């Protein structure tokens, strides 16, 4: 997406043809920093410490990590080792395993001397495919916004609430939950976005707000606990979020707090949509609450907040008593029964096994 006068993706191949440049999102919205990553350990750090984050982007970053490793050592042992090292970085987003499997399965049959070049080609393919999947999600999601807009008074905006960041910063470009919003803006459909700040990492306050402001999307930052109140007062027309892993039955794992938004939406008759590219569907899992591993991140992410001081320094300050421990589950699971629809690149599916198989019949298990 455009940042100032330049078009950026979140990650791209450096001009040296082998290392990777990426936006280090930890410093947004206060500083726009680009880092050059040259090693597998550097890729692992970027994922684990959330320089890059968001399920699709995590997958693409790992794919480039495999390419960097193949350039160093194209052996089977190195291919297995890099799969293990990068898979261990974060447990919840299925796109990480999906991308690593794609890379290993496509590289394994090749002669070692062909693997490095093939790995870079495949990583670029996965990155480009992510952009196209997100554009398709945008087109399908736009239809929902159009239908709501048709019921509003002329000029009255469609009020959309989103949680965390499932924007272009969570993908290679366009985003998933934000793709329909960007397309609505291009079509001059009046929209307004309530952005959940999304404690503790504040992806909404730091990242989604930055995206919305950067693209002139009318938006209002709200604390995470305000969404239910706004829905009770008819101030939200729809909720749209991303996901890190959706099961074959339509259970949706996403940033912590999503489940509570879905409960409030159901209680107030507000449609609750999830935008996802198909690599985010884990077809091997059926019960999200029981089976999806929920990442437990450092308590420091709860105990400290990042911000910019009056003299422009970006730093963190502690907000808890020294003696107070903190828990930090990073995701939760919204049961399919609370999901109005799954917006995929192939259309909008009912949040159920049948609904997903109607769009992805090739996934039906052999009878």
Q: Which is nearer to ligand LNRAV4D5, 118 or 244 (CB)?
A: 244
Site string for ligand LNRAV4D5, 188-207 (x = CB under 6 A): ---------------x----
Nearest to 252 by CA among 243, 263, 261: 243
- Mark the segment that binds ligand LNRAV4D5 (CB under 6 A) among 12-20, 59-67, 170-178, 346-354: 170-178
Backbone angles phi, psi at 2, to 5 degrees: -80, 135
Strands 11-13 and 20-23: antiparallel
Closer residue to ligand LNRAV4D5 (CB): 244 or 251? 244
- Confirm whether residue 147 is marked as ligand binding: no
| Of residues 50-79, those binding ligand LNRAV4D5 (CB under 6 A) | 53-56
Residue 332, CB-side half-sphere exposure with 13 Å CA sphere: 15
118 or 356: CB nearest ligand LNRAV4D5: 356
Catalytic position from the list 130, 173, 244, 332 = 244
Parallel, antiparallel, or unpaired: how do β-strands 6-7 and 347-349 relate?
A: unpaired
Q: Is residue 224 among the annotated active site residues?
A: no
Q: Is 106 annotated as a binding residue?
A: no
CA gyration radius, the chain? 20
Give the nearest distance from C-beta 51 to ligand LNRAV4D5 in angstroms. Answer: 11
347: β partners:
344
What are the angstrom distances between the C-alpha of 84 and each of 43, 58, 101, 253? 13, 15, 11, 23
Kindly state the smallest distance separating residue 338's Cβ from ligand LNRAV4D5, in Å: 16
Structure tokens at 84: 């293990």
The one among 61, 178, 208, 254 contacting ligand LNRAV4D5 by CB under 6 A: 254
Q: Which helix (H) or strand (E) holds 95?
A: helix 94-107
Contacts of 73 (CB under 8 A, 6+ apart): none
| Residues found near ligand LNRAV4D5 in the complex (CB under 6 A) | 53-56, 164, 166, 170-171, 176, 203, 241-242, 244, 254-255, 330
Q: Binding site: residue ranges? A: 53-55, 90, 203, 254-255
Residues with a catalytic annotation lie at 244
């Amino acid at each position: 997406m455009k940042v100032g006068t330049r078009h950026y993706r979140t990650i791209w191949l450096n001009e040296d043809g082998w290392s990777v440049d990426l936006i280090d999102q930890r410093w947004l919205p206060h500083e726009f920093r680009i880092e050059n990553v040259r090693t597998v350990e550097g890729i692992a750090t970027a994922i684990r410490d959330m320089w890059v984050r968001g399920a699709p982007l995590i997958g693409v970053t790992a794919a480039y990590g495999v390419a960097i490793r193949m350039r160093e050592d194209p052996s089977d042992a190195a291919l297995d080792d890099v799969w293990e090292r990068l898979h261990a970085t974060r447990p919840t987003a299925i796109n990480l395993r999906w991308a690593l499997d794609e890379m290993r399965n496509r590289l394994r049959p090749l002669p070692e001397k062909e693997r490095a070049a093939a790995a870079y080609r495949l990583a670029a393919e996965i990155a480009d495919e992510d952009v196209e999947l997100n554009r398709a999600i945008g087109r399908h999601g736009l239809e929902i916004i159009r239908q709501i807009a048709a019921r509003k008074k002329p000029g009255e905006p469609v009020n959309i609430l989103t949680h965390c960041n499932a924007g272009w910063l969570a993908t290679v470009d366009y985003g998933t939950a934000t793709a329909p919003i960007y397309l609505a803006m291009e079509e001059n459909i009046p929209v307004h976005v309530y952005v959940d700040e999304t404690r503790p990492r504040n992806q909404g306050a730091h990242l989604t707000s930055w995206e919305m402001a950067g693209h002139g999307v009318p938006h209002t930052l709200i604390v995470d606990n305000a969404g239910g109140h706004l829905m009770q007062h008819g101030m939200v027309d729809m909720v749209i979020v991303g996901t890190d892993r959706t099961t074959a039955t339509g259970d949706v794992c996403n940033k912590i707090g999503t489940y509570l938004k879905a409960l409030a939406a159901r209680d107030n008759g507000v449609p609750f949509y999830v935008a996802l590219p198909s690599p985010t569907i884990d077809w091997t899992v059926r019960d999200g609450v029981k089976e999806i591993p929920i990442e437990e991140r450092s308590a420091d992410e709860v105990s400290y907040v990042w911000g910019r001081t009056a003299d422009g320094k970006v730093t963190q300050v502690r907000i808890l008593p020294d003696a107070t421990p903190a828990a930090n589950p990073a995701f939760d699971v919204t049961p399919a029964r609370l999901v109005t629809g799954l917006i995929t690149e192939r259309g909008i599916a009912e949040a159920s096994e049948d609904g997903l198989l109607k769009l992805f019949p090739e996934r039906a298990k052999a009878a």
